[in-house]
Amino acid sequence: LLTMGGALDLNLGALLAAEAKLGKAVQMAEKMPVARKLLAETYLQMGQPDKSLSALRPLLEGGVADGEMLAVAGRAYLQQGDAVRADAMFSSAAKLKPKDVQIQTALALTDLARGKAETALDALQQIASTDPGDMADLALISVRFRRREFDAALAAIAALEKKQPTKPAAVFLR
């Protein structure tokens, strides 16, 4: 019940309440992976990557981590500015969940953080062209804007608009 309540609080953005409930759940059942992952996610949203990694450490060191936990750890390392460890976590997660678009997108963004801009852009373009969702598209548009590649950003926005013609995101981005 504590884990479920913490998950609901996390989804509602009540991070302190989520932290309290999930912290109790982890204390009561230390090996409960779901509670630990949700607690780590809560800490990430609170901007506390060290605590996030501490919450995941028993699972990561015990070899119990799944693709989602490795991705959370990767995001924590990214928040710490450690692109090398983030890349290792995302690569491991991608091996366990090779079709997970979020992990593939995060891996591409890690490449970008490591200075491999062309590799990252190619990967984002590939993901965006095959995935019906908008995560990779939005990441690609964001990267193009930051690089001041406005024509390429507009082309990515047009692709997003074709993919989701009834949603207003592309119009607002344009």
**Alpha-carbon distance 34 to 3, whole Å?**
8
pLDDT at 146 over 90: no
Q: Please write the tens of the pLDDT for every residue from 67-80.
A: 888 989 988 988 88
Q: Are 79 and 47 in contact (CB under 8 A)?
A: yes
**Alpha-carbon distance 60 to 173, whole Å?**
39
Closest CA to 45 of 88, 9, 5: 9
**Alpha-carbon distance 119 to 130, whole Å?**
17
Query: Residue 82: which pLDDT band, with cuts at 50, 70 and 90?
Result: confident
Q: Are 4 and 33 in contact (CB under 8 A)?
A: no
Q: CB-based contacts of 165: which residues, under 8 Å, 6+ apart?
A: none
Task: Determine what percent of the chain is predicted with pLDDT higher than 70.
Answer: 100
Q: Please write the tens of the pLDDT for every residue from 83-132.
A: 788 888 888 888 888 888 888 888 888 888 788 888 989 999 999 988 88
Residue 62: its pLDDT value, please?
A: 81
The rounded mean pLDDT for the chain is 89
More confident residue, 161 or 31: 161
Q: Are 108 and 123 in contact (CB under 8 A)?
A: yes
Q: Is the alpha carbon torsion for 85, 68, 51, 12 positive or negative?
A: positive
Task: Determine what percent of the chain is predicted with pLDDT higher than 90.
Answer: 42
Residue 56: its pLDDT value, please?
A: 92
Closest CA to 110 of 133, 86, 137, 92: 86
